[in-house]
Chains A and B, each alone.
Chain A
Amino acid sequence: MSTKINAAPHAALSLLKRDLGLSLTRGGGPLLAVGFYLTLMAMIPLSLGSDSGTLSRVAPGLTWLSLALASLLSLERLFERDYEDGLFDILRLGPLPMEVIALLKCLAQWMGTGLMLAVLTPFVMIILGAPVDAAFISLIAAILGSLSFAIIGGVGASLSLGTRKGGVLIALLVLPFYVPPVIFGAGLMQAYLTGAPVVQALSLLSAYALFALALGPIAMGAALKSALS
């Protein structure tokens, strides 16, 4: 028993390392989501016109929308491959509970792609016409938002495991739950740009991320167990 307790942090660390390595290298890594994000960003002026007044007004909202959509991309691969090649059956024999395994996989995925997208967010916003001094707050907001996106996305990915419908089903399941972070995140930027206090939106955004962090693993663990049974 005591060896099992000591083995847990080690197992957690090696799982995180493995998954982070895979999410950074496998199938182009974060390049896919980043490329999608930037392409979507480039489409915005093409569809709305290059008038800088219009663009700077819609920049925060559309950036958040693009962030949410780009976060969807990598979800299909989150559990699917490990589920198919039987890795979960091996992990189950180890010291980590399924909830922690799911959380670690989500966090690794988030570090691999979500953080990259978050770092890009201020640049995207500035290119679309938001003022430069909004960069820092938009980075903080995007980090919090992408964390919520990653974990809620993980819930959707674990629920649709083995359904053969994959991506579209995940998007349908997950997007309704992306609504609050999108509202709070875009609202935060709007408040900042109009000079209103941002504390309320920022704390709501953090609250949602923490909420997802606390409850998401339980749902993911239950869904993974049901998929493996």
Chain B
Amino acid sequence: MITWLANPERFTRVFAPIRPYIGGLAAVLFVWGLYLCFASPEDYQQGDTVRIMYLHVPAAWMAMMVYLIMGIASFFGLIFRHALADAAAKAAAPIGAVFTALALITGSLWGKPMWGTWWEWDGRMTSVLVLFLFYIGYIALHASIDDEVRAAKSTAILALVGLVNLPVIKFSVDWWNTLHQGASVVRMDGPTIAPDMLWPLLVMALAFKALFVWLWLVRIDAEIITRRYRTLRARLSFQ
């Protein structure tokens, strides 16, 4: 399946018609999710500020998921030399950086009323900040290598080296063990979060995912077109 889709031409043909529907799905999910956010009850401790969670948590999930996707795409690009995988990794990076920034900003806004501070240097926040810096390093490395093939290869190596970072994010929570709360949705004994709050959270998470897929497909397509343009221009200049 992946090999079959690795042909850029075929990829465009398959996904170009689907793309608007994914964008539409994202829009519908956002409207539904935002409605649920405001229809859901206030938290007995946190009041209205709990609604920041419905943006903060999905953004933080996406920050890590996009990173994982980048790592997988880089792996395929590096090992199987699929040009499309390189394009996919490159296209995902700025989106992931924005989600990470969003997670940090909403977290900071939420932290002020809850913990009484804009920023707390605990394990999880710090490692998300490091993840953000890592995204920036990735984008900077890609931008500073002119040759497209080399840039793809170097950034793929960097992304795989950076996958080390994901376990460290999880691990650092245990090691520093400060006031950031532990996991409360994905647990062995079922979610401890109230169902009234779980629903908007899940819908928002799906909305974020659909948004990502839509943006990602648009960016991959733009990358394919840019490459085609570059090849055509190179070919013309030789004539």
Contact = CB atoms under 8 A, between A and B. Distances in A.
Nearest to A172: B137
Nearest to B138: A173
Interface string A173-185: 1011101100100
A210 B145 CA distance: 30
A206 interface: no
Contacts of B176: 183
Contacts of B154: 159, 223, 226-227
Chain A binding surface SS class: helix
Contact of B150 (A169, A175, A187, A227): A227
Interface in A175-200: 175-177, 179-180, 183, 187
Contacts of B162: 176-177
Contact of B161 (A155, A169, A179, A183): A155
B165 A164 contact: no
A2 B168 CA distance: 44
A173 B145 contact: no
B202 interface: no
Nearest to A211: B164
A175 B136 CA distance: 12
Contact of A177 (B136, B144, B153, B164): B164
B157 A183 contact: no
A119 interface: no
Interface residues of A, number: 26
A222 interface: yes
A169 B164 contact: no
Contacts of A26: none
Chain B binding surface SS class: helix
A157 to B, nearest CB: 12
A159 B145 CA distance: 10
Contact of B168 (A162, A180, A226): A180
Contacts of A215: 161, 164
B133 interface: yes
Given A169-B140, A226-B150, A183 B165 contact: no
B130 A173 contact: no
B168 A222 contact: no
A103 to B, nearest CB: 15
Interface string B113-152: 0000000000000110010011011001100110000100
B160 A219 contact: yes
A71 interface: no
Contacts of B164: 177, 211, 215
A84 B134 CA distance: 28
Interface string A54-78: 0000000000000000000000000
B133 A176 contact: yes
A219 B158 CA distance: 8
The 5 closest A-B pairs by CB, nearest first: A226-B153, A163-B144, A165-B144, A173-B137, A172-B137
7 contacts: A159-B158, A176-B134, A176-B162, A177-B164, A222-B157, A223-B153, A226-B153
